Amino acid sequence: MKSLLIATTNPAKFEEASFVLRSSGLNILGLKDFSTVPVEETGATFEENAILKAKGYFEQTKTACIADDGGLMIDYLAGAPGVHSKRWLGYEASDQELAQAVIEKMRGVPKEQRTAKLGGFVIFYDGSHLLKSECWLHGYIAGILMGEIKVGFPYRSLLMIPEFNKPYSDLSEEEHDQVNFRRKNLETLKPKILEALASTQLT
């Protein structure tokens, strides 16, 4: 059985990715299964950071690896929080602090200028193949916190999804499946990953 490392320290992201990939017949592993050092995210874009993580953790574990990077980009704030989503405030802020900072910075901004997108890249790397997928969910920023903050996903309670007229955090399971950008990226990559792994000597 081929192994695949989901290279994230975020338990919620690991669960999302595992859910999509567990039917693939792969041995799904997490960083807890290895002794690794964190890969520094020095890229200027989400794509660069995802590639750095996928390659960095592959080099440490010699195990085929997927890594993702993404976040919220608000048009009025010139794409912020962007690639600095977790460290946007100049330090490793809590989910509550991050959400509150967006509310403060967007206070008084008219609805038509509150457009934003949430999404990013998933990268697969196995030493021979580098595969990528990109997906974005478009909406607008609410003026107040519209739902309960899910641990690890500070901005979902702020991004209103027009087709459902509710924040991302309040979507039903069925609605969430329709718009989940990470899931869409993984579903796109899954057959390509299986094909790539079939042609490698990795276990």
CATH of domain 3-198: 3.90.950.10
Distance of CA 163 to the CA centre of its chain: 22
H-helix or E-strand containing 8? none
pLDDT single digits (tens) 37-59: 999 989 999 999 999 999 999 99
Q: Which residues are catalytic?
A: 69
Per-domain residue ranges for the chain?
Answer: 3-198
pLDDT band with cut points at 50, 70 and 90 for residue 84: confident
Full-model pTM: 0.87
Residue 116, pLDDT > 90, answer yes
pLDDT single digits (tens) 121-135: 999 999 999 999 999
Residue 203, pLDDT > 80, answer no
